[in-house]
Amino acid sequence: MSTSIIQIKKSALAKNVKFVKELVGNKVKISAVIKGNAYGHGIEIAVPALEQLGINHFSVFSSEEAKRAFKSSIKKSNIMIMGYIEPGDFSWVIKNGIEFNVFDLEILKTSLKYSKRLNKKAVIHLEIETGMNRTGLTKNQLCEAVKILNENKKYFFIKGTSTHFAGAESIANHVRITQQYKVFQQRLKYLEKNSIKPKIKHVASSAGALNYPNYRLDMVRTGIMIFGYWPTKEAYIKYLSNHKLYVDPLERAVVWKSKIMSVKKVHQGEFVGYGFGFQAAEEMNVAIVPVGYTNGYSRTLSNNSHVLLHGKRAEVIGTVNMNMILINISLIDNVKIGDEVILIGKQGDHEISVSSFAEMNNGLNYELLTRLSEKIERKLID
């Protein structure tokens, strides 16, 4: 038993998938991005749940994540590795038809070596460097890659070509993004001229799909929206105002719960927890919750966050410890050991969202979600 539990709401995933489907229309395929342990939700839970909602393409970062997704799949979905392949995993990847990004020549050459050995085509996506300067084939590398591909047609199935934008969630990056798209188009022409014909083109993440409808192409790679979050507040507000909406069409799928472990009284003037971070201004009641930074409850939330208890908000006082937080329960009556505590989610009329979390400590939804420890028990609920 873990000291807390994470519940994933199937109904919320269904709502978000429906939203993305309606956003992009039925001609555009959706790849659900499930890197970072499915943004903290758990790969093993997210994959079968999303498959039941009609998703049959998943994007992961590494071959290790691909293996987990592959094992969890109940409908033989396609899995695409966007980033790192362990050298020892190439055989497994090629044998099982796992798709992967070719973002430099090394990966192409290694893949060729294994394809020859296995006498099986590798299913690849050519990732093109268009201006982010992270991963992707530069113009010169692309020329070299084209040569290798044309000389070894037997060993490659060129399923797709892609690029990634350097921040499609903010208008501040607009010029850079549109420039990247131009470069992408130029490289496509180059490929075409050299008789390389990828089946699909994909460039948009959640933010790209929202802010650049023309860039949805054949497939979008959406992660954060599937789980019920907006890439940024800016993207959220822009969507609401463009669609004259006043309520969030997405629903957060995560609920994180724990229980009261102990309660005590603290006298006026005393300090609570480590050091001098919190001093009781008056006599107060304090409760201890067995969740701390080891579980993913960020230390930056020290003296700077709330939980829900008996349908009311209770503030976190003092520093977040490795395994515990202390909460002020002075205004909440009859708190007993074992009472449910909501760290993220709804209780009564209140909600603690990851975004409010993120706002409280100036972080990103992405970061806080992926910090949720993999060791916490996860459960799919309706």
Ligand X SMILES: *Cc1c(COP(=O)(O)O)cnc(C)c1O
* Contacting residues toward ligand X, per CB under 6 A: 33, 35, 82, 164, 205-207, 221-224, 231
Question: Under a CB-based contact definition with an 8 Å cutoff, are residues 50 and 13 in contact?
Answer: yes
Task: Identify the active-site residue in 71, 113, 154, 274.
Answer: 274
Question: Under a CB-based contact definition with an 8 Å cutoff, are residues 298 and 371 in contact?
Answer: yes
Pick between residue 61 and residue 157 the one whose CB is nearest to ligand X.
61
Pick between residue 84 and residue 157 the one whose CB is nearest to ligand X.
84
Task: Identify the active-site residue in 35, 121, 159, 201.
Answer: 35
Pick between residue 121 and residue 164 the one whose CB is nearest to ligand X.
164
Name the minimum Å distance from CB 127 to ligand X: 8
* Rounded alpha-carbon distances, angstroms, from residue 352 to 27, 171, 255, 326, 356: 36, 28, 9, 17, 7
Name the minimum Å distance from CB 275 to ligand X: 37
Pick between residue 303 and residue 370 the one whose CB is nearest to ligand X.
370
Name the minimum Å distance from CB 261 to ligand X: 34
CA distance 46 to 260: 29
> What b/e sequence results for 78-117 when a residue is b if at least 16 CB atoms lie within 10 Å of its CB, and e otherwise?
bbbbbbbbeeebbebbbeebbbbbbbbbebbeebbebbee
Residue indicated by tokens 């991963």: 135
Name the minimum Å distance from CB 231 to ligand X: 5
Our answer to whether residue 35 is catalytic in this structure is yes
Q: CB neighbours (10 Å) of residue 353?
A: 17
- 72 SS3 class: helix
Residues involved in catalysis: 35, 274
